[in-house]
């Protein structure tokens, strides 16, 4: 028997007994208003929240805020005429010149201002991290109170996804905060009514 086989055999003999997973405890946040808490947390992390009534108003707001910006990209079909940068690229490195990306997200979390984005709506995982400015569109009724509720919502999710909270931030030991050091310099959340 080789040394490798001997080591693996000893590992197999020393398997601990299976232990049941602990019961999952959930905590109720009891926010008076989930959207108000979401807005409050986002304001603390340098993110603006804008409510839009429909996709037409979203397009108007996108034009108002970013119409003069070059290299605008989106995953929202209703904004395809607004976008001047195609996400139909084979190499994600080609996205490095995107100035603003408006991306569909699935839901937001009130307790920390995080937004869940997945490859369901994202053609390139790098897009939210490489763009200079980032905006998410979330159905207004798709806000949950806390991460416990978020994970319940995600329990049957397959594929890639992540939570993003505010623009990129970093700070050093002298407590100098830098926004946009490693990713988007700004972030806006559009809450879309009627979705």
Could you tell me the pTM of the whole model? 0.83
CATH of the domain at 110: 3.40.50.10420
89-111: pLDDT as tens digits: 999 999 999 999 999 999 999 99
Residue 1 lies in a domain: no
Mean pLDDT of the chain: 91
Residue 15 lies in a domain: no
- Asked if residue 170 lies in contact with residue 178, where contact means CB atoms within 8 angstroms, the answer is yes
Element (H, E) at 43: helix 34-44
Residue 82 lies in a domain: yes
**Residue span of the structural domain in which 58 resides:** 31-192
Residue 136 lies in a domain: yes
Question: If you count DSSP H runs as helices and E runs as strands, how many of each does the chain have, helices first?
Answer: 5, 11
Which parts of the chain are beta strand (E)?
47-52, 72-74, 100-104, 107-109, 114-118, 133-139, 143-144, 161-164, 169-171, 177-179, 186-192
Residue 4 lies in a domain: no
Total domain count for the chain?
1
Query: How many angstroms separate the CA atoms of 35 and 27, rounded?
Result: 18
What is the predicted pLDDT for the residue at 195? 58
């Amino acid at each position: 028997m080789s040394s490798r086989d001997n080591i693996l055999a000893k590992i197999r003999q020393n398997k601990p007994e299976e232990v049941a997973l602990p019961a999952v405890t959930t905590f109720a946040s009891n926010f008076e208003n989930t959207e108000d808490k979401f807005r409050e947390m986002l304001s603390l992390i340098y993110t603006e929240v804008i409510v839009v009534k429909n996709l037409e108003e979203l397009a108007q707001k996108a034009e108002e805020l970013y119409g003069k910006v070059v290299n605008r990209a989106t995953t929202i079909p209703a904004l395809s005429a607004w976008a001047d940068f195609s996400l139909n690229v084979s190499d994600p490195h080609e996205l490095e010149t995107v100035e603003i990306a408006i991306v569909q997200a699935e839901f937001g979390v009130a307790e920390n201002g995080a937004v869940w984005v997945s490859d369901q709506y994202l053609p390139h995982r790098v897009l939210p991290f490489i763009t200079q400015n980032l905006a998410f569109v979330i159905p207004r009724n798709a806000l949950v109170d806390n991460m416990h509720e978020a994970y319940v919502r995600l329990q049957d999710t397959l594929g890639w996804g992540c939570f993003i909270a505010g623009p990129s931030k970093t700070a050093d030991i002298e407590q100098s905060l830098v926004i946009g050091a490693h990713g988007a310099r700004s972030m806006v959340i559009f809450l879309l009514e009627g979705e």
